[in-house]
Structure 1
Amino acid sequence: MTVQPDPEFDRAIAVTSTSEGRYAGELSGGFVVGGGVNGGYVLAVLGAAVRQAAGEHPDPFSVSAHYLSASRPGRCEVAVEPLRTGRGTSTYSATLSQDGQARVTALATYGDLGRLSDDVRTTAEPPVLPPREECIANDTAPPGMEIPLLGRSEMLVSPDFRRPSGRGEVAAWFRLREGREPDPLALLFAVDALPPATFDLGFYGWAPTVSLAVHVRARPAAGWLRLRHATRNVAGGWFEEDAEVWDSAGRLVAQARQLALMPRG
């Protein structure tokens, strides 16, 4: 008898239906960064609930979320309401709450990426990274910070990663642990998995997400992903960050933009 793997990520995003449109889950303390749980991981939990509600439309195409308060490790509930059910896509509103307080609210359009062409065309250029054997593991936090999130994935960065270039860009090879291959729900996490792009400007610390919009273009091929986060504007204590996720086949499979507060550390 072959024992199937039970990756930590799947356990961490699992939700159970409690009544029509209501799902219960447990936010893992392993995804904490700074003063709360990582926003991309929380979005993946919310996305897992929408997937259950969506039935024949299992994949996120577009998710736009607003973060109302910092999520904490522990029990959560996701309320999902269908807004439109179509042949190709369906749209839902979803709100993740803890102790009766809304943490994240989102609009999500789901479909079946398996019905689409695997051909992804773009004028964007993938991030330039050294071969993995020349990179170093980004598994240690800056002095004075504890980041359990760093232990949830394998992240390989250029040896000069901790020397800010001033360009406002960070990039890395990335994959989940325990042999867990990427899929569309993992992409919701991946777009927020790197350190904030402000690290490359010399600003370190937790950068709370205020809004995050994700577009998934294709189911990713198995293997390592390449991630890039970049910012072009810092103003009034806020910054925007654009994220790209490239799969092992060299395709741009997900994009995101978020608005976040500048690190306080």
Structure 2
Amino acid sequence: MVQLRKMALSIAMIVFLVIQKPVAGFFNERTHIVLWTSLPGISVPYRIWSSIQRFSVNDNVVFVFPQGLHTAAEVTKEGYDNCNLTEIISIEAASPATFNLESVGTHYYICTVAGHCRMGQKVAITVPDTAPKQLATPAPVSSSGKDMSDDAVTTHIVGDEFGWSPSSGGASDYKAWASNRIFLVGDVLVFKFVNKLQDVALVPKSAYENCDTKKSAIAVYKTSPATVILNSAGYHYFTTTNPLMCDFGQQLVVNVRGR
């Protein structure tokens, strides 16, 4: 089981290193590149890739693959779930194959070559509503019980524009983000992520270090944007309940100072 997890992680690393490199003169920030292949276990890195992208209406998704070896087809959810080739909406056989994300919602893509979809060559892409509802932030309370709503409270957007996702730079990216900030009791962390694909887990140090989060989580936040009030001084450890994404570097530790 451990060996399979390591193999999936290795495949994910290879795919990320390739698909995150820009192709000069052709792609731009509104284009998402997919290295389209049928390696065993590839469904895991495709799920991770999709979860860390920030899709918007009218973005383009470009599937790059060797000519004649694959196809890229948009299908219904039933076609995606069951690799049903009768559920094709549109199909491209030439690479690079470009699909425009014309609407909010989840778009499903598979390879129609025999056996490739069932091997994992498929990806679901969710385009979120561009105007999500904002969660009300309750007045922070210090560890002593003092209402701190009148004090200067800072709201920190975790990861800034990148948000809360596994990063190609690993946990060092979030370490660098946290190192440039001062966290005080009563401050607020806001985690922005893709609902149903990501979550936030407040965990003990041991769970943070070992990515053993499902059983050890102190609190889990499943709806984005997730608001966490830093109610006490000391180190606070955050990761995700998905151990693979934790291994990939979706981890954050903040040192909170008293006021």
Question: Would the TM-score normalized by the shorter structure come out above 0.5?
Answer: no
What's the TM-score, normalizing by structure 2? Answer: 0.29
Higher helix share: 2
Q: Larger C-alpha radius of gyration, 1 or 2? A: 2
What's the TM-score, normalizing by structure 1? Answer: 0.29
Higher strand share: 1
RCO higher in structure (CA 8 A, sep ≥6) = 1
